[in-house]
Amino acid sequence: MQDITRELVLARLPRRAADTNKGSFGTVAAFAGSITYRGAPVLAAEGALRTGAGLVFLATVPQAMQLALARTPECCVLPCQAGPDGCLLPADVHAAAARFAPGKAVLLAGPGLGGGAGAVLRELLGGGFAWRGCLLDADALNALAAGAAGAAPLPENAVLTPHPGEMARLTGLTVAQVQADRPGLAARYAREHHCVLVLKGSGTIVAAPDGRVWRNTTGNPGLARGGSGDILAGMIAALLAQGLAPADAACCGVWLHGAAADRCAARKSRLAMLPHDLFEDLGALLAEACL
C-alpha cells in the first residue's frame, strides 16, 4: 500500500490545452436527488463542475433542479418527475439516459436518490445504456447491497465510494469488521467485483481490481457531515469524464477533497466548516497547480 501524495496527484491531473473546448473535457450524467434530499444532487453537480467536467447534466426532481440552477447555472438539467414515494420516476430516468450517446458520458448515480434508488439503478445499468464509466455512491450502493438494482453487471470503469456503513451492507459484515481491515477488505472487494473501491473515512482507502492499494493522507473530521461525500462523488466523476483511469481519478479526487477540507478547517474551524465551503479552497489548490 502506498500513500497518495501531492506529487502523485499533480502528475495525473488533466491539463487544459489552449485549443480545447468543452467537448474536450467530458460529460457527467448525474442521476440524483429526491423530494426529501434536494441538496445532495446540487453538491454533486457542483463538485463535478468545479473539478473540470466540460458538461454536467443533472437528472433530478424539479425542486432540486431549481436549487441547482440558482447555485450553478452552468449545470444542464433533465427534469424528472417524482413518484408517490418522492423518488425519480423510472420512466423519466430512462428517457433522460437515452439522451446520451453510447460511451460518451460518465454516469454518476446515488446522491440523495432515497428509497427509490433500486428502480433508478435498474434503468441505468440494465436499460441497454453504454456508459464511458460510472460512479456509484450513497443510495445507489444501498440498492446494490439490497439486491434491488437487478442483475446487470457494473459498467466498465466503475468506481464505488462507500463509507463504512455502506461497505458493511455491501459485504454483509459489521462496521467494526470493516474498520478492522480496511485495506484488505477494499482490495478483496475491488478484485472480486472488477471495480475501483473508495472506502471513505479517516485515511480513505482506494483499491484497484489489479491489487494496487493507496491510502489518502489528507482530510480531517470537519468532513464528517452530510454533503461531503456528494461533493467527492462529483469530483471523481468529473476526473473520469476527463479521461483519467478509474484508480487515478479516485486517488486524485480523494486527495483534492481532503486537502481542500484541511484548508477550509484552517479558515473556518472543523466545527463550523460546511461542505459547500470546500469549493473556495479547492479553487485555490487548483490555481496553485496552474490548472
| 197-225: pLDDT as tens digits | 999 999 999 999 999 999 999 999 999 99
Res 165 pLDDT > 80: yes
pTM of the model: 0.98
Largest CA distance in the chain: 51
Report how far apart, in Å, the C-alpha atoms of 75 and of each of 56, 78, 83, 108, 262 are: 6, 10, 24, 14, 27
What's the mean pLDDT in 122-134? Answer: 96
Radius of gyration of the chain (CA): 17
For residue 220, how far is the Cα from the chain centroid? 19
- Write the single-letter amino acid at 74: E
- Give me the torsion for CA of 231, 236, 242, 248, rounded to 10°: 150
Residues 6+ apart with CB under 8 A from 207: 183, 186, 187, 189, 190, 191, 196, 197, 199, 213, 214
Domain presence at residue 186: no
| Inside any domain, residue 45 | yes
Q: Is residue 32 part of a domain?
A: yes
Share of the chain above pLDDT 90, in %: 97
C-alpha cell at 199: 472506502
The answer for residues whose C-beta is within 8 angstroms of residue 114's C-beta and 6 or more apart is 34, 35, 36, 37, 85, 86, 87, 139
Does any domain span residue 21?
no
Tell me if 33 sits within 8 A of 78, measured CB to CB. Answer: no
SS (H, E, C) 147-185: CCCCCCCCCCCEEECCCHHHHHHHHCCCHHHHHHCHHHH
User: Is residue 182 a part of any domain in this protein?
Assistant: no
- Domain span at residue 255 reads 26-160+226-285
Count of domains forming the chain: 1
Beta-carbon count within 10 A of 208 CB? 21
Q: Which residues sit opposite 108 in a β-bridge? A: 30, 135
> Which CATH number characterizes residue 155's domain?
3.40.1190.20
Residue 175 lies in a domain: no
Q: Tell me the pLDDT tens digit for each residue of 96-111.
A: 999 999 999 999 999 9
Would residue 93 count as lying in a domain? yes
Q: Cell for 193? A: 467485483
pLDDT score for 290 = 78
Band of pLDDT at residue 75, cut at 50, 70 and 90:
very high
Q: 184 lies in a domain?
A: no
In this structure, the dihedral spanned by the alpha carbons of residues 257, 69, 157 and 168, taken in order and rounded to 10 degrees, is: 60
Instruction: State pLDDT tens for residues 229-288.
Output: 999 999 999 999 999 999 999 999 999 999 999 999 999 999 999 999 999 999 999 999
d(CA 248, CA 126): 27
Please list, residue by residue across 259-280, b when 16 or more beta carbons sit within 10 angstroms of its beta carbon and e when fewer do. bbbbbbbeeeeeeebebbbbbe
Q: How many helices (H) and strands (E) does the chain have?
A: 12, 10
Contact 90, 65 (CB under 8 A): no
pLDDT digits (tens, 9 = 90+) for 30-48: 999 999 999 999 999 999 9
Cβ atoms of residues 114 and 84 within 8 Å = no
Which residue bears the cell 434536494? 38
Q: Which three cell numbers stand for residue 282?
A: 479547492
